Structure 1
């Protein structure tokens, strides 16, 4: 199943070799010279990832001797080791935080290979250099301050593959301790998404992210969620970086002395929505109660979802979080969907693996109510008794057929073929049905893909 090619100067990006995974629905581009980042994930012609135009074709040396203003942020799909608070050193040589984050694992050149996995799919595999921690930090007249010794050595690798008839991308992350001491580390894996229709338009209200939550899952501070800035910080940021503000102006106070108005809150039961705001530089911290996040371009009604490992309250997470949504005001700005792995204790030569599955689909509209391996639900299945009608609205990840199954327990009483489906086609269900006379307790929509694999999209319980 050949899906991978090596392209020279792909899309005039000015990198010699770009590794492209492509089928008739999606395209991905991995750039080894840009920190091994995925700099393209498109559904048809619709991109999901922001690409920094200032760094096209650039390659940087493998050094952590970088200053605050020297972050090599290519855009796209990136990662940082967590916790970030102890990746550097302070003025006295003690552990601290640094921005830019560690560069060997973040933006230096990666090794890259194309292989074939046991399922017969071509894979793109990348591997970082060895990241030594703590990294030095620049303190003006003191220059770079270094730790007395190397305390940690990490190496990151990633394998991904796609198939011919789906928008799904299977991504496996590995973080290995290649040092001599036991460490505690995890990964924050982020997609920097497009947040404006054209550069400089700043119409971020059309670019949103959804995260599912449960009122029972609280942050370590006991709150349901938090915004990582306050009104004073927002005011100062805007006054310094955007435009002059006047605290004697009631209009300015109402509009800008707040946490931002882009945190739209609960837009459906258990679903939080964030829209991008160029004049907001902050994140949403909330525990994702289900195993997904979803970014949506409302101008094109295109959804890009991440299916991640389930939150496990028995495990330790940095800041108690398994995800975050971040609105960046850097460059022209972007909205990030961030997946955070648990923190793992790794003895020398030990590693942990973490799987994400990304999927893209055309949808009718938001909000996104749920995501599973079959697709995206924007209107859950319902049964209208008076009309004997079933309705629902979806986006799907796989090419195939949609089947309606009437069940009692595990027994299928009746099946009804609905329609052909694929990731570029909105799937709307609005049909009259003849329900079986037996003890019907469940109706479910099943997607049967090209390879005859069945995946449940939605279920209605009587």
Structure 2
């Protein structure tokens, strides 16, 4: 492990804000407590994934300025990633009336913990108590040596004297822009958000339109690959989906920027049978583009972004009670829209098999979340290992374009591609396919 960079943690200036920076040589995380405990950077190498509004960089506002007249135009949308209560609305006190929200969205969070070793680094930030929702939010972000995987631990605590009911809602804003030869910004229309199509979805198309035109060309379904798809076309709108993996107990949502060759992923638990907000949505995607929302018109703005939003089920909070929800981020190289996300990485081409005259040809295109070794495992019809081959070194900064021919051992009925992490010696799956 001598050649794997150690984790680092430092307090530093970031774009004019006081920040805590976590890094491990593959990814860098920047947390800014003073603007709602936001994560304002998640970079793969030197390339940023999260959106930052340059006109607000380094700025701080009073609670009164953050609230303004309470309209959306008054909201200080710094960018980055933040955590809110759901459902959102303005009809009654069981809905979160934001943004703007000068406490939970843009309040000054306190740093209550920083931990650092060669193997891991983390920072914990806690919001001011909010009398309107009765909640106090804790956000802890952790990264580990030799990996682009980041753990986001989110907690709500009821600080009021009555029963409360909320979902934990995390919102990441991803850069979806490109720079033209004349220096102007424009939408990067190759950017795509994908999520797995729920095999038991309550929605005919696997999603529902929450805002904007129902015929928005950005929204669609890829039934061949069993995906809900949002293709960035600089239209304003939002969809929700009850997306989950085929096992019904886990889910993921992924953003890809093929021009930059990057992917950002989020993995999270799903709880079948539990009630979710927004008509049963586990994930949502919001896009900034042409059109109006409330008193804002983005027609002539230079804001180009897509949001990936993850929601927990509703939790009932007794006074003093807390509930937690965990999301795992990943970042890696990508060759196109993400078709699958597993513990070891993501696929822009799933593992596939083709019979040849001297064996089987296995192919696929992947990004890995860990520095380590690519391992091919042969499985028999009972799922037991019948052989394995160590193939090549991999890491999050390099695309894996896999295309090799093998002669499977007798009795093998499936092939599984995994990454054996060099740092923690854990084996994490990339993909599986049945042999012909």
TM superposition score normalised by structure 1? 0.82
> Structure 2: how far apart are the matches of 1:228 and 1:157?
28
Q: Which has the higher helix share?
A: 1
Larger mean CA deviation between 373-382 and 36-45 belongs to: 373-382
Q: 1:119 to 1:307 in 2, by over 3 A?
A: farther
Aligned with residue 264 of structure 2, among 298, 304, 315: 304
SS state at 1:33 partner: helix
Task: State the shift of 1:75 in Å.
Answer: 0.5
Equivalent-residue separation in structure 2 for 1:47 and 1:268 (angstroms): 31
**Conserved in 2, the CA contact under 8 Å of 1:204 and 1:275?**
no
Per-residue deviation at 1:269? 2.3
Shift of 1:392: 1.7
Partner of 2:77: 73
Which position in structure 1 is the counterpart of 2:34?
33
- Indicate conservation of the 8 Å contact 2:365/2:402, yes or no: yes
The equivalent residue for 2:9 is 4
Say if 2:174 and 2:307, in contact at 8 Å, map to a contact too: yes
Deviations 1:141-186 (A, max 9, x none): xxxxxxxxxxx42100011111120101011000010110011111
1:426 aligns with 2:399: yes
CA distance, structure 2, for counterparts of residue 225 and residue 460 of structure 1: 28
Q: Is the 8 A contact 1:127 1:157 kept in 2?
A: yes
Q: Could you give the per-residue CA deviations for residues 415-449 of structure 1, whole angstroms, max 9, x where no partner exists?
A: 21111000011112211212112x22222112111
Higher strand residue share: 2
Counterpart Cα distance in 2 of 1:277 and 1:434: 45
Q: Distance in 2 between matches of 1:97 and 1:155?
A: 13
Mark the CA change 1:351 to 1:164 in structure 2 (over 3 Å): closer, same or farther: same
Deviation string 1:4-29 (CA, Å, 9 cap, x unpaired) is 1111x33xx112x2101111111111
Please name the residue that 2:16 is paired with. 14
- Picking from 299, 318, 321, the partner of 1:350 is 321
| Structure 2: gaps spanning 5 or more residues | 1-5, 246-250, 290-297
Q: C-alpha distance in 2, partners of 1:334/1:85? A: 23
Structure 1 residues 49 and 6: alpha-carbon distance in aligned structure 2, compared to 1, 3 A threshold = same
- Measured in 2, the distance between the counterparts of 1:61 and 1:153 equals 21
Q: Which moved more, 1:175-184 or 1:43-52?
A: 43-52
Alignment of 1:19-98 (within 5 A): 19-62=20-63, 65-67=67-69, 68=71, 69-85=73-89, 98=97
Separation (CA, whole Å) in 1 of partners of 2:81 and 2:266: 12
Contact 2:344-2:430 within 8 A present in 1 as well = yes
Q: After superposition, where does 1:249-264 map in structure 2 within 5 Å?
A: 259-264=215-220
CA displacement at 1:97 relative to structure 2: 6.5
Residue pair 1:446, 1:454 contacting (<8 A) in 2 also: yes
Match in the other structure for 1:339: 310
In structure 1, the partner of 2:242 is 287
8 A Cα contact 2:119 2:144, kept in partner: no
- Alignment check: 8 A CA contact 2:83 2:105 kept: yes
Once the 2 structures are TM-superposed, how far is the Cα of residue 118 of structure 1 from its aligned partner?
11
**1:119-130 superposed matches below 5 A:** 121-130=120-129
Change over 3 Å in CA distance of 1:101–1:218 after alignment to 2: farther
Distance 2:420 2:119 in 1: 20
Deviation for aligned residue 1:98: 3.7
Q: What is residue 366 of structure 1 aligned with on the other side?
A: 336
Out of 373, 377, 385, the position equivalent to 1:412 is 385
Using the size of structure 2 for normalisation, the TM-score is 0.86
CA deviations over 1:193-213 (Å, ceiling 9, x no partner): 111113753233122111111
Distance 1:101 1:312 in 2: 32
Counterparts of 2:233 and 2:273 in 1: how far apart (Å)? 32
Helix, strand or coil at the partner of 1:162: strand
SS at structure 2 position matched to 1:431: strand
Deviation, 1:114, is: 4.1
Q: Is the 8 A contact 1:281 1:327 kept in 2?
A: yes
Q: Distance in 1 between matches of 2:414 and 2:322?
A: 43
Contact 2:240–2:278 under 8 Å retained in 1: no
In structure 1, C-alpha distance between the alignment counterparts of 2:425 and 2:363, rounded to whole Å = 25
Q: How far, CA to CA, are the matches of 1:276 and 1:35 in structure 2?
A: 27
| Distance in 2 between residues matched to 1:229 and 1:347, nearest whole Å | 33
Which residue of 176, 184, 201 corresponds with 1:195?
176
Is the aligned partner of 1:379 residue 2:379? no
Q: Residue 123 of structure 2 aligns to a residue in which SS?
A: strand
